Structure 1
Amino acid sequence: MPVGYRSRLRWMMPLMLLAALIFPAIATKYLLTVAILGLIYVLLGLGLNIVVGLAGLLDLGYVAFYAIGAYGLALGYQYLGLGFWAMLPLGAIMAALAGALLGFPVLRMHGDYLAIVTLGFGEIIRLVLNNWVSFTGGPNGISVPAPTLFGLEFGRRAKDGGVPIHEFLHVSYNPNLKFIFIYGVLCLVVVLVLFIKHRLTRMPIGRAWEALREDEIACRAMGLNHVLVKLSAFMLGASTAGIAGVFFATYQGFVNPTSFTFFESALILAIVVLGGMGSTLGVVLAAFVLTVAPELLRGFDEYRVLLFGVLMVLMMIWRPRGLVRTSRTGVSVRKGVAP
């Protein structure tokens, strides 16, 4: 990233954080839901960006880990009584373990072969969720509990002798409280993931991901354990998708298999490509562009998908390396200077 651009970004960040804080106070329910979806796709894009953008592993079944997080919350509540706060870390762990189970045997594959296997994994998870009716509810889906904050509920009337949060705070009831809560927690999680990703890319493991992406043969010749390095990227990306799935299920209040089709994997991959492979800022921008654009095109229902596709093609012609280009790591030798 150019130095001038980086300096402009430093003073833009406080303004963006201030806008994020003010937004819930002035936004309508519709705008809040669009912002929540945008932040969920930011999480998904950041996770897949580690796998595809940094480690160079083409994963076409990424939506499976998203589904594991979402169904983990729904089934965890139904069978174990676990709520949002318990399943937030557990959803990440479950998705990471699923990533390890898939990744360890298949990460010796490359390119198209890896893409086909991950695509198959994504479809297997969807079909299991769709056909195991007695456990997952099948096509009818399964309801998800509303989130709570220290046992306080966000509804107008509390259930099972609980206390509504507006009564506890002695304020008037606001129907947007649940969405403001989800938005606030989601913002904190996104900032945390951004920080972790920023630190990891500057640590040896981040350099190892980029090195394997550029030249795996050279890395293996230098003694780098390519399978474990790839597996770390795969598991970290999967855990991020699991967290996003928990937020999605909480936001929807209901999950079913139609939310986790291959189209979702393609959309998340489009976010990574459009934002710029390996670019964190680009992924954040692309996630909001691809979330807001379909909403703006709702007035053209018959042509929405066509217009969306045309906009994507034009964007890739205009910015073939993504919205935000990333500087390539490595050592460059200036002309006229001996190496």
Structure 2
Amino acid sequence: MNLTKNGNGNGGLGQVRDRLSLDPLRDAWAGAPAAVRWIVYGLLIIGGLLLPSESIGSFMAPSGVDWPGMLSTQIAIYVLLAIGLNVVVGMAGLLDLGYVAFYAVGAYTMAIFATKYHWTFWESLVLAIAFSALAGVILGAPTLRLRGDYLAIVTLGFGEIVKRTANNSDYVNGPRGVQGIPHPPSLSEWEILGVQPLKYGLLDARPYYYLLLLFIIVSIIFVKRLERSRVGRAWASIREDEDAAELMGVPTFKFKLAAFAIGAAIGGSGGVVYASQQTSITPLNFEFIVSALILAGVVLGGSGNLPGVMLGAALLAWLPERFRELKDYRMLIFGAALVVMMIFRPEGLWPSRQRKAELAEGTGGMGSLGAEVAVPEHDGPGPVETREEGK
């Protein structure tokens, strides 16, 4: 088969990717007036508030499944965790395979202080965020001198250490976990359209979804402001070439440590809401597969681009549940869809232009992974050049 080479140097696949490009929409958004942007933001928030309605759930959830419950316990949680992991992986270029550990720290902090010391939900939330950030610092301080796959192995081990520690500790009841975790205190009996968004209990999952939506909005604002600041520019320089960033005077260790702490804090906040909604947690809730799925959502959506990351995480949480009637075949079909996705859009569903450029240069779209990566551009009869990241 004769595939002509296009401007991207990728032949037929490159032509398909060009047709799927979101660049025209991105250009239109970049040139949109501020008023138009605020209107779009407002409409997105209104859409998020209306998402748990029964009319939407009738086709978004399989028959007999509680759609608001699916939103709060899976989709919104995954989106919040993906925003936090994107700080580490997408913005700073650090591969973290143990992100579930920070999720667990937040959940167990909530469980311990609410059941043993009778702290309120909001007091436990602040402490859980602080403890999760501290856990990120504790993990990062001795390990962030490592790079690539070595760092990935250490973070994977940290996630297993947290789970094993909880499983073998009598203080948190070992494998039985912690039960009787209180719900957040209801703030009001106020009702709108048949919903009491500030009344937390066991029967209605919608208030927990609205709480997670608030956390997601706050996290988005915080992360976007960081991205446009000196911190965000430092993360971008570290992701693209850490050695060059150091030579230019960027204190790389300090900024990598900040990325771990901020990402961990966001993950810990998700753990708090999860524990308070479920009222009981066990170490089995924090398996490695959670870290793998969140990372897959970040890469699938477009590492480094917040809308893409959120889209990828939401799809990854929603699709297997939506097609649950297919039983075991749903995971086979889902895996095949991911493979097709990586063939035609390896940069993700909604990548940023900067990340697409990094992928085209051979960095893999996820910062330095400590391995040699083939350069896609190659002309002439000579061998394909490779370059080792960081050199």
Give the TM-score of the pair, scaled to structure 2: 0.75
Residues 180-238 of structure 1: per-residue CA shift (max 9 Å, x gap): 22112211111111011111100000000010111111111122211101000010000
The answer as to 2:305 corresponding to 1:279 is: yes
Aligned to 2:381: none
Question: Structure 1 residues 80, 228: closer, same or farther in 2, change over 3 A?
Answer: same
Preserved CA contact (<8 Å) 2:246 2:252: yes
The answer as to 2:143 corresponding to 1:106 is: yes
Alignment gaps of 5+ in structure 2? 1-22, 58-64, 358-391
Q: Could you say which structure has the greater relative contact order, defined with CA pairs below 8 angstroms and 6 or more residues apart? A: 1
> In terms of mean alpha carbon deviation, does 9-18 or 140-149 score higher?
9-18
Aligned to 2:117: 80
Residues in 1 aligned to 2:200 and 2:147: alpha-carbon distance in whole angstroms: 52
The SS at the match of 1:149 is: coil
Residues in 1 aligned to 2:165 and 2:27: alpha-carbon distance in whole angstroms: 49
Aligned to 2:163: 126
The SS at the match of 2:244 is: helix
Letter in structure 2 aligned against 1:53: G
Residues in 2 aligned to 1:44 and 1:79: alpha-carbon distance in whole angstroms: 27
The answer as to 2:273 corresponding to 1:237 is: no
- Identify, as 1 or 2, the structure richer in helix: 1
Residues in 2 aligned to 1:115 and 1:98: alpha-carbon distance in whole angstroms: 16
Question: How far 1:176 sits from its partner (Å)?
Answer: 7.4
Aligned to 1:251: 277
Residues in 2 aligned to 1:12 and 1:114: alpha-carbon distance in whole angstroms: 39
Q: How does 1:325-336 map to 2 (within 5 A)?
A: 325-328=351-354
Residues 293-333 of structure 1: per-residue CA shift (max 9 Å, x gap): 1112211222232222112112222321111120228x9xx
Aligned to 1:311: 337
The answer as to 2:82 corresponding to 1:54 is: no
Aligned to 1:16: 44
Identity %: 42
Alignment gaps of 5+ in structure 1? 153-164, 332-339
Preserved CA contact (<8 Å) 2:301 2:310: yes
Q: How does 1:179-190 map to 2 (within 5 A)?
A: 179-190=205-216
Preserved CA contact (<8 Å) 1:58 1:115: yes
Aligned to 2:61: none
Aligned to 1:155: none
The two structures, once aligned, show a CA RMSD in angstroms of 2.6
> In terms of mean alpha carbon deviation, does 267-276 or 6-15 score higher?
6-15
Aligned to 2:171: 135
Q: How does 1:290-309 map to 2 (within 5 A)?
A: 290-309=316-335
The SS at the match of 1:223 is: coil
Residues 218-269 of structure 1: per-residue CA shift (max 9 Å, x gap): 1111222111010000100000000011111122221111111111110010
Preserved CA contact (<8 Å) 2:177 2:283: yes
Question: How far 1:15 sits from its partner (Å)?
Answer: 2.7
Letter in structure 2 aligned against 1:16: L
Residues in 1 aligned to 2:190 and 2:91: alpha-carbon distance in whole angstroms: 45
Aligned to 1:162: none
Give the TM-score of the pair, scaled to structure 1: 0.86
Q: Which residue of the other structure, out of 229, 246, 257, is the alignment partner of 1:220? A: 246
Question: How far 1:146 sits from its partner (Å)?
Answer: 1.7
The SS at the match of 2:51 is: helix
Question: How far 1:174 sits from its partner (Å)?
Answer: 10
Preserved CA contact (<8 Å) 1:73 1:83: no
Q: How does 1:128-167 map to 2 (within 5 A)?
A: 128-132=165-169, 134-143=170-179, 144-150=181-187, 165=189
Residues 53-112 of structure 1: per-residue CA shift (max 9 Å, x gap): 110111111100000001111111122112321122211110000110110111000001
Residues in 2 aligned to 1:96 and 1:85: alpha-carbon distance in whole angstroms: 17
